[in-house]
């Protein structure tokens, strides 16, 4: 999956674009709309805290660092005299570390604003509406052309290379 980012000038255009995306068989759960505070989005699919925060990248970093720390702790236990650690225990320590890292990383990430969305903050505060759309990589060009065909004023701001399968 790829995440497309584009800015729309107003709510009317946003409603039209979201309707066109739905007609193009993009599921509503893959469309996320962000506007400045106080703008009534109505039935538009609003971005959740997961999209607005740095939750997923922080969780990914937490898994990697926690897992590595767990494995290193297990290896350190192997080097201690009188302590016997089998391969299963080493694996369990790595998994426990990855789990703790994911949990702690996710909690920290919820408090941090999404770095990708942060670059659009001035446009959002000026009244533009940011739309995030998750599509399979083979449909990126199709969706961009669909939106441009009906709304040439849409400003595409690029794509994010991969969208994790979770959450």
CA distance 152 to 102: 42
Q: In the beta sheet, which residues pair with residue 129?
A: 8
pLDDT digits over 13-22, tens only? 888 888 989 9
Average pLDDT over the chain reads 83
- What confidence tier does 167 reach under pLDDT thresholds 50, 70, 90? very low
Name the DSSP class of 53: B
Of 57-66, 126-135, 154-163, minimum mean pLDDT range: 154-163
Is 166 contained in some domain?
A: no
Q: Specify the pLDDT at position 123.
A: 85
Residues 106 and 120 in one domain: no
- Residue 6: which domain range? 2-52+114-160
pTM of the model: 0.71
CA atoms within 13 A on the CB side of 5: 19
Is 41 contained in some domain?
A: yes
User: Are 6 and 131 a contacting pair, CB within 8 Å?
Assistant: yes
Q: Which of 70, 86, 110 is the last residue of a domain?
A: 110
Residues 60 and 106 in one domain: yes
Quote helix, strand, coil % in the chain, to nearest 5.
55, 15, 30
Residue 80: pLDDT above 60?
A: yes
Residues 98 and 71 in one domain: yes
Residues 31 and 106 in one domain: no
Residues 119 and 137 in one domain: yes
Q: What percent of the chain clears pLDDT 90, i.e. is strictly above it? A: 14
- Total structural domains in the chain? 2
Is 68 contained in some domain?
A: yes
CA distance 160 to 118: 14
User: Are 157 and 7 a contacting pair, CB within 8 Å?
Assistant: yes
Three-state DSSP state, 3? strand
Residues 125 and 150 in one domain: yes
Is 6 contained in some domain?
A: yes
- Give the residue-averaged pLDDT of 38-63: 84
CA distance 55 to 28: 21
**How open is the CA angle 20-26-27, to the nearest 5 degrees?**
120
CA distance 38 to 34: 11
**Contacts of 44 by beta carbon, 8 Å cutoff, 6+ apart:** 11, 14, 15, 18, 33
């Amino acid at each position: 999956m790829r995440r497309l980012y584009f800015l729309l000038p107003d709510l009317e255009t946003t409603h039209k674009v979201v309707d066109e995306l739905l007609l193009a068989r993009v599921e509503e759960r893959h469309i996320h709309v962000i506007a400045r505070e106080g703008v009534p989005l109505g039935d538009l699919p609003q971005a959740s805290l997961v999209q607005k925060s740095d939750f997923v990248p922080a969780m990914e970093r937490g898994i990697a660092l926690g897992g590595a720390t767990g494995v290193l702790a297990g290896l350190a236990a192997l080097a201690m005299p009188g302590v016997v650690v089998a391969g299963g225990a080493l694996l369990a320590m790595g998994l426990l570390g990855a789990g703790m890292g994911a949990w702690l990383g996710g909690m920290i990430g919820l408090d941090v604003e999404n770095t990708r969305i942060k670059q659009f903050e001035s446009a959002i505060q000026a009244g533009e509406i940011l739309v995030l759309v998750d599509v399979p990589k083979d449909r990126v060009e199709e969706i961009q052309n669909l939106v441009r065909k009906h709304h040439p004023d849409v400003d595409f701001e690029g794509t994010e290379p991969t969208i994790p399968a979770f959450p």
